[in-house]
């Protein structure tokens, strides 16, 4: 994707950007790759699931003939940790329009993440035929409150330093310990180092906000069992508007639905994850 800025809001830093460096994969054999998972994407001792899913997706892409992840599902079988990972990829289909493969990501001999993905080539101009929805209702980023690049995350959450977040002042309650009583979050997000969004980045972005369920008092880490991301269009440069919502908490599990809209007002990704309630 382009690394030139279009909106000119923020000076670009030089590549390699953090996300590209930290999702790099190296082929070491037929369908076998290695990656070095970085603690920069940590949420406490465990790493962010969307980051891990992006690494696995990048590994899968190396084995497929299509450039764009279209639908990606990860099942998280153990916490991801900083350090090296071995990834094996097995191709199910290499078709004309679509190609499909799964990946197994292991650390220390233990499988942490199994990912199933289908790739395609998305059109340059997606020309929406139906848009029954709208970007989240957010004031412009410059009228919102948020963090600054290079400033340590006040909660010690490393991934919180990888992104800039901009939320309406009245939505910033949770940071001050005032849950709003509705399981939804809306927020502007962009990479803190100036990297522009692309499809791979969206897989991480959509999982990089505080959980919507925190807004109704679900405290503690609700580990992701499964995360599915649909990539619906290539994002243009600029801020991304992210909306998360949890509607059902039952049987010990909750779902979280996500949408990401780009700065042109186009839906670029949808997600749903199933997470296990803290015991």
* Contact set with its own copies (CB under 8 A): 70-71, 73, 75, 77-78, 92-93, 95, 97-98, 100, 102, 104, 111, 114, 116-118, 122-123, 126-133, 182-183, 213, 216, 225-226, 228, 230, 232-233, 245-255, 266-267, 270, 272, 274, 276-277
DSSP 8-class letter at 172: G
Q: How far is the CB of 171 from its own copies (least distance, A)?
A: 18
- For 155, left (φ over 0), alpha (ψ -120 to 50), or beta? alpha
Nearer to its own copies, 20 or 226 (CB): 226
What's the min distance (Å) between Cβ of 126 and its own copies? 4
Find the helix or strand (DSSP H, E) in which 37 lies.
Answer: strand 32-37
- Comparison of 27 and 274: residue with beta carbon closer to its own copies: 274
Distance CA 5, CA 27 (A): 31
Angle at 195 between CA 189 and CA 198, to 5 degrees: 75
Q: Are strands 240-245 and 184-191 parallel, antiparallel or unpaired?
A: antiparallel
Give one DSSP letter per residue of 138-181, joined into a string: ---GGGSEE--TTPPPTT--GGGGTEEEEE-GGGGGGGGT---S
- Report the C-alpha gap between 93 and 107 in whole angstroms: 27
Nearer to its own copies, 196 or 273 (CB): 273
- Smallest gap from residue 135 Cβ to its own copies (A): 12
43-57 b/e (C-beta count within 10 Å ≥ 16 → b): beebbbbbbbbbbbb
Q: Which is nearer to its own copies, 5 or 71 (CB)?
A: 71
| Cβ pair 273, 224 in contact under 8 A | yes
Q: Which CB sits closer to its own copies, 76 or 165?
A: 76
123: its two tokens: 């059109």
Cβ of residue 132: shortest distance to its own copies, in angstroms?
4
In the bound complex, what is the minimum distance in angstroms from residue 25's beta carbon to its own copies? Answer: 19
C-alpha to C-alpha distances, 178 to 170, 213, 255, nearest whole angstrom: 10, 13, 22
Of 40 and 75, CB closest to its own copies: 75
Q: Which is nearer to its own copies, 221 or 253 (CB)?
A: 253
Longest dimension (CA), the chain: 52
Minimum distance, C-beta of residue 125 to its own copies, in the bound complex (Å)? 9
75/174 with CB nearer its own copies: 75
In this structure, what token pair is assigned to residue 43? Answer: 């949420």
Residue 172 CB, nearest approach to its own copies (Å): 22
Q: Cis omega (within 30 of 0) on the bond before 50?
A: no
Shortest reach from residue 98's CB to its own copies, in Å: 6
CA gap 158, 48 in Å, rounded: 10
């Amino acid at each position: 994707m382009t690394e030139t800025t279009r909106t000119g809001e923020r000076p670009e830093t030089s590549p390699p950007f953090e996300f590209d460096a930290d999702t790099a994969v190296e082929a070491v054999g037929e369908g076998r790759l290695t990656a070095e998972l970085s603690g920069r994407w940590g949420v406490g001792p465990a790493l962010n699931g969307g980051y891990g899913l992006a690494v696995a997706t990048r590994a899968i892409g190396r084995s497929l003939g299509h450039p764009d992840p279209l639908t990606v599902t990860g099942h998280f079988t153990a916490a991801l940790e900083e350090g090296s990972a071995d990834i094996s990829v097995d191709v199910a289909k290499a078709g004309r329009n679509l190609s499909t493969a799964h990946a197994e990501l292991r650390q220390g001999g233990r499988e942490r993440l199994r990912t199933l993905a289908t790739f395609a080539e998305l059109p340059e101009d997606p020309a929406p035929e139906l848009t029954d929805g709208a970007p989240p209702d957010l004031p412009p980023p410059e009228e919102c409150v948020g963090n600054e690049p290079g400033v340590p995350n006040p909660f010690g959450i490393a991934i919180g330093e990888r992104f800039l977040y901009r939320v309406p002042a009245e939505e910033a309650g949770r940071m001050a310990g005032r849950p709003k009583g509705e399981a939804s979050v809306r927020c502007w997000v962009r990479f803190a180092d100036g990297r522009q969004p692309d499809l791979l980045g969206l897989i991480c972005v959509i999982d990089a906000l505080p959980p919507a369920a925190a807004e109704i008092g679900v405290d503690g880490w609700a580990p992701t069992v499964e995360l599915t991301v649909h990539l619906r269009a290539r994002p243009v440069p600029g801020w991304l508007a992210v909306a998360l919502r949890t509607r059902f908490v039952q049987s010990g599990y909750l779902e979280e639905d996500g949408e990401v809209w780009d700065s042109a007002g186009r839906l670029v990704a949808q997600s749903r994850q199933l997470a296990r309630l803290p015991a």
